[in-house]
Amino acid sequence: MNQLIRKTIEELQRNHMAGYCVADKQELLLLLSDLIPKGQTVGCGDSVTLEEMGVYDFLRSKNYVFHDKYLPGLTSKEKRRLYIQNFDADTFVTGTNAITTDGKLFNIDGNGSRVAPMIYGPRQVIVVAGVNKITEDVDSAIRRARQIAAPQDAVRLQKDTPCTRLNRCVDCRHPQRICNDFVLIAGQFIKDRIKVILVEKELGY
């Protein structure tokens, strides 16, 4: 574990969030098995990192009641029902746009279905992130989320927003804009409710 990761974990812990470090996918899935007891209800946020690390397939294959938002054929109404159920999940698993070295999480969301359960509801929130998500401070976290993560996410979601052509945020008012909710999590009342797992790889964007 390098000094930057160690400092970030220490600061997360000072903010009442647990911090872990794993080397690869195998270690990550073993840790998730320890953190999520069998039989729990589990929700998830949209995350390229979770997809890259095989977390969705892991949740489908284990003995969990998984609120799988990626089931083929889900209607908008059914997907909304899953989002509401996530608030009462035992565990909510998600990625993040940025983690500051002083132990804060910053995210931009389109409709709030990812950031809202991070803030309130699930008894446990597990955040998985590559070391490329670590930023120096809140300003650089916001800059990273707006200028790196959001434009690439808009491309992935096949939006027609200006950032998909310019590869940068121009704070548009396009009807397909995905940068609607800007959320900074600076700490927790309930100690270790949020658990952040840093993977020693560059993951997502």
List pLDDT tens digits, range 147-171: 999 999 899 989 999 999 999 999 9
DSSP single-letter state for residue 88: T
pLDDT value of position 82:
96
Distances in whole angstroms, Cα of residue 79 to Cα of each of 52, 75, 155: 22, 6, 22
pLDDT at 76: 93
Q: Which residues in the chain land under pLDDT 50? A: none
CB neighbour list of residue 113: distance below 8 Å, 6 or more residues apart = 45, 46, 83, 86
Is the distance from CB of 8 to CB of 99 less than 8 angstroms?
Answer: yes
pLDDT at 1: 62
- Give the pLDDT of residue 24: 97
